[in-house]
Amino acid sequence: MKSPVFVIAGYVLREAASRKFILAFMVGLTLVLATVALSLKLEVVDGALAATRLFGEVMRSNIMSVDVALRPIYRAAAYLVFYGGILFGIVACSDFAPGLLSPGRIEHLLALPLQRWHLLAGTFLGVMTLALGGTVYAAGGLTLIFGVKAGYWTMGPLIAGGLACVGFAAVYAVMLTTATLVRSAALCSAAGFVLLVGGILAGFRQDVSRYLESGFGRTAFDAVTLVLPRLSALATRAADLASSTPLEKGSLGMLLGGVLVFGLGALSVGFWHFEGKDC
C-alpha cells in the first residue's frame, strides 16, 4: 500500500500540473534554453574558448581556458537558479498548503486514513519534487548545452541546483508552517520572503553585525541570525561549485546540513501546531 505521504505529494503535483503559470514557466525555460542552444556558437581551440558568436554576431571576448571563460555564466546561472528559483517557488507554491487546508477540502482529507502530519509532509514532499524537477531541468539543460557546444562537462551546475533546492526546502518549510497558523497564501508568501531576506542577512551576519550599535540590537541580531538558515552563504557556495572555483573556508556539508535541519525544525513546528489544531 502506498504511503499517505506519497499520495498527498502526488496530489500536490497534479495540482501543480494543472496550474497554467507553472506550465508557462516551464515552457519559458524551455524556450530560453532552446534559444541559447540554437543561437550560441563557441569555437574552442586546445581547451581555450577562442571565439563566441551569439545570433551570428561575433562577441568581443578574451581568449582563455574554456572553463575559466564560462565561469561567469555558470556563476550567474547558479545565482539565478538559487534566488530566482526560491522567489518563483515562494510565489508559485504559496497557495498549495492554504488550498489543501481550506474548509471543505481539509475535512475530506482528514476523513482519509492518514495522520495529520502526513498531510503536511506530503505537501512538503510534493513541492520539493516540483522544485527539484525544475532545478534539474534548468541546470541540466545549461550543462548539456555548454557541454555539447564547448566540450566542457561539469556536474557543478547540477550540484549547485541541489543546494538551491535545500535552500528552498528551508523557506518552504516555514511557509507550510505559516499555513497551519493562517490559511492565507499572501501571508505564506510574506513569511517566505521574510525568511529569504533573513537568510541572506544570516549569511553576512558578521559583516552586518559590525555596522550595528553594540547593545541589545546587535545581540538580538546575532542571536536571531545564528538560527536562521544562511541562504546567502549557501548561494555563494553553489555559485563556487557551479563555476568550479575553490570553495570558501569551512565545511559545505555542515552548512548544507544546518540549512536542511532548520527546514526540518520548521516543519516540526508545523506538525506540532497542526496536530493540536481544531480544523
The residues that touch another protein, with contacts defined as CB under 8 A, are 45-51, 62-66, 68, 117, 202-203, 205-207, 226-227, 229-230, 233, 246, 248-262, 264-266, 268-269, 271-272, 275-276
DSSP-derived letter for residue 227 is: H
Look at residue 138 and give its three-state secondary structure: helix
* Stretch (H or E) spanning 23: helix 20-39
Q: By C-beta, is 154 or 268 nearer to another protein? A: 268
For residue 82, the minimal CB distance to another protein (Å) is 16
For residue 119, the minimal CB distance to another protein (Å) is 14
Q: Vertex 14, ends 10 and 19: CA angle to 5°?
A: 145
Q: By C-beta, is 55 or 272 nearer to another protein? A: 272
* Residue 276: CB atoms within 10 Å: 9
Q: By C-beta, is 141 or 205 nearer to another protein? A: 205
Residue identified by cell 545549461 is: 142
Task: Please give the Cα distance from 36 to 23 (Å, whole number).
Answer: 20
Q: By C-beta, is 108 or 249 nearer to another protein? A: 249
Task: Please give the Cα distance from 156 to 73 (Å, whole number).
Answer: 12
For residue 267, the minimal CB distance to another protein (Å) is 8
For residue 22, the minimal CB distance to another protein (Å) is 30
For residue 65, the minimal CB distance to another protein (Å) is 4
Task: Please give the Cα distance from 151 to 144 (Å, whole number).
Answer: 10
Q: By C-beta, is 91 or 269 nearer to another protein? A: 269
